[in-house]
Amino acid sequence: MKRPPAFPVPSGRAALVPSVLAADFSCLKGSLAPVKKLADWVQVDVMDGHFVPNLSFGPGIAAAVARASGLPVDAHLMVEEPGPFLEAFAAAGAGLITVHAEAAHAGACLKEIKKMGLKAGLALRPKTPLKKIIPFLRVLDLVLIMTVEPGFGGQAFLPEMLPKISAARGLIKKTGRAIWLQVDGGITAETARAAAGAGADSLVIGSALFKAPSPAAFLRGLKRTV
Ligand code: DX5
């Protein structure tokens, strides 16, 4: 399998990660064109209609996004049983696969993702306590703190997640390992600053980016502030 592109570590700022969920599905290539040179990687939000009350897309779109953007792809699986889909997303070119701590066999999935030579992420719904990540910190490459209830883009950022982000930063620091702290949901120019200030170093941005008059200007502006 072709090795996916490496995930860049931007110096002195958070990584900016467009969420394809908010892009124009009728023209993914066109949607991604203005941002692909400014974004650090891209996220595909996979939804199964069970774990979340919404359906989105599968490995085929992940492969199309990888081709259209040339960026590293991060597959966020909002899927009740992610295990059977890991290989398909790896084959589609995802270099990082995130499963939810609330999903079935999350620990086994993380092991499988690492065995495939990919980066492994673990996501927490807003109500899931942070301590759920502790058993996995020695293998994780990314922790994803959801700042909305997963399932839909365009929701408002939950500010009560800020202490959870800071606490996650503290846990990561104690490991001495380079683990991304990613935040996803309701990221705008304003909430991006708050999230980065609380310790996030990877920001997933959907609606605020793709609905901006100029997505490129939006990302350039963010780069100066996070
Ligand atoms: C929720 C999705 C969204 C998306 C980002 O399940 O994961 O959080 O990626 O969408 P916005 O930026 O519109 O909240």
Cα 68 to Cα 112: distance, rounded to the nearest angstrom: 27
Catalytic residue among 40, 74, 184, 201: 184
HSE-CB of 123 using CA atoms within 13 angstroms: 31
* Ligand 1 pocket, mutate which of 61, 99, 128, 152 (most atoms under 8 A from CB): 152
Average pLDDT over residues 155-171: 98
pLDDT tens digit sequence for 6-53: 888 888 899 999 999 999 999 999 999 999 999 999 999 999 999 999
Confidence of residue 3 (pLDDT cuts 50, 70, 90): low
Quote the tokens at residue 133: 């990540």
Bridge partners, 108 (sequence order): none
- Distances, alpha carbon 55 to alpha carbons 8, 48, 51, 72, 177, in Å: 30, 5, 10, 23, 34
* Cβ partners under 8 Å of residue 86, min gap 6: 97, 109, 112, 113, 116
Cα 114 to Cα 86: distance, rounded to the nearest angstrom: 11
Percent of the chain with pLDDT over 70: 98
Catalytic residue among 45, 74, 141, 201: 45
Question: Hey, what domains does the chain have and what are their CATH numbers?
Answer: 15-225 (3.20.20.70)
Pairing of strands 94-100, 119-124: parallel
Distance from residue 5's CA to the centre of ligand 1 (Å): 23
Cα 196 to Cα 13: distance, rounded to the nearest angstrom: 8
CA gyration radius for the chain? 16
Cα 201 to Cα 223: distance, rounded to the nearest angstrom: 12
162-175 vs 189-198: helix crossing angle, rounded to 10: 40
**Catalytic-residue membership of 24:** no
Distance from residue 204's CA to the centre of ligand 1 (Å): 7
pLDDT tens digit sequence for 183-198: 999 999 999 999 999 9
Q: Is the pLDDT of residue 55 over 70?
A: yes
Cα 182 to Cα 172: distance, rounded to the nearest angstrom: 12
Which numbered atom of ligand 1 lies nearest the CA of 52? 6
Distance from residue 205's CA to the centre of ligand 1 (Å): 7
Distance from residue 197's CA to the centre of ligand 1 (Å): 20
